[in-house]
Amino acid sequence: MAMRLILCVLFFSPLFGETILDRLSSLRKGDLVVYSLPRSICIVSVENIETHVAPYPAPGDEREGQDANIATRERANSLAEEQHEVDGSLQPSHERNRGQRGFDSNTIFFRVVTATKDILDREGYPTWITWFDAHAPDASTDETISVCGGTIVHSDSSHDWFHTLLSLDLSPIPNYLRKRAGPKPMAGEHDLRPIWHPKIVVNGAYLETPSVALETKWPQDATPLSNRPLTLYFPTSEKSVRALPYWIESPTSSYRAEVIDSRSFSTHIQEPPSP
């Protein structure tokens, strides 16, 4: 079963903390990132994007247009309420509140596939992207998550890493607190080291681009990440999949997740390859 993560992209009030769900407007169909996790590979792909355009009333039909908008919103609200009733146990309270902040404009369909790290050698594929494009044979998981109104409303996924990552509250790290490149200066010396940026890989090649660093905290759960602080690095180049973090690390442990390859269609006009 193909894993599709349905996301309704909203414009929300700044009263709420930013999450990855709030950063998805730059995504394009075909965008893909390959995460190397401590024990597995996780590939996230944008399978499709549907744009919902509110109807505009013709001159003299303002009332009809208003009625159509109201009816559309009522149908969407009714669907959201049904989904909340079915899958409310999946959502922390801050996620449930997020769904009340606005009305969806885009629906983004993600596919998320996980695999063991020996798949390429075993199957004979040159890269993780070619393996994925070949229908990801012998994948460990290939499941579905649904998100609407900025809220994950359904998940049959047994791989909770990406599910949780999407809804973590993010805070920017000021430059003076950013990680620095190179060895620390001697006591009494000024720290003139440049800000550290992770290596960004797009289509198998390194891309020189600065990054934005955001911090968060993993929720309490049964994983090794439970309650740990995390730093997420997002590339700023339009040639990358800048809506998603390319480097994730914990300052209190050796945990690290990094994007080892990616494919971006943000600056391309051609359609991605058909499955």
Residue 268 lies in a domain: no
Task: Please give the tally of structural domains in the chain.
Answer: 1
Tell me, what's the pLDDT at 265? 85
Tokens of 42: 């996780």
In this prediction, residue 107 carries a pLDDT of 78
What is the residue type of 109? Answer: F
pLDDT recorded at residue 60: 52
213 φ/ψ angles, rounded to the nearest 5 degrees: -105, 130
In a domain, 115, yes or no: yes
Q: Taking Cα atoms as reference points, which of 167, 139, 104 lies closest to residue 34?
A: 139
Residue 274 lies in a domain: no
- Is residue 271 a part of any domain in this protein? no
With respect to residue 275, please indicate whether it lies within any of the assigned structural domains.
Answer: no
* Residue 129 structure tokens: 């992207």
**Weakly modelled stretches of the chain, pLDDT under 70:** 1-17, 52-105, 145-159, 266-275
Judge whether 107 lies within some domain.
yes
In the 3-class helix/strand/coil scheme, how is the chain assigned residue by residue? CCCCEEEEECCCCCCCCECHHHHHHHCCCCCEEEEECCCCEEEEEEEEEEECCCCCCCCCCHHHHHHHHHHHHHHHHHHHHHHHHHHHHHCCHHHHHHCCCCCCCEEEEEEEEEECCCHHHHHCCCCHHHHHHCCCCCCCEEECEEEECCEEEEECCCCHHHHHHHCCCEEECCHHHCCECCCCCCCCCCCCCCECCCCEEECCEEECCCEEEEEEECCCCCCCCCCCEEEEEEECCCCCCCCCCCEEECCCCCCEEEEEEEECCCCCCCCCCCC
Can you tell me the distance from the alpha carbon of 114 to that of 257, in angstroms, rounded to the nearest whole number?
14
In a domain, 94, yes or no: yes
The first and second tokens of residue 248, run together, are 């994730």
- Residue span of the structural domain in which 69 resides: 5-263
Query: Tens of pLDDT along 120-153?
Result: 999 899 999 999 999 999 999 998 766 666 666 6
Residue 273: inside a domain = no
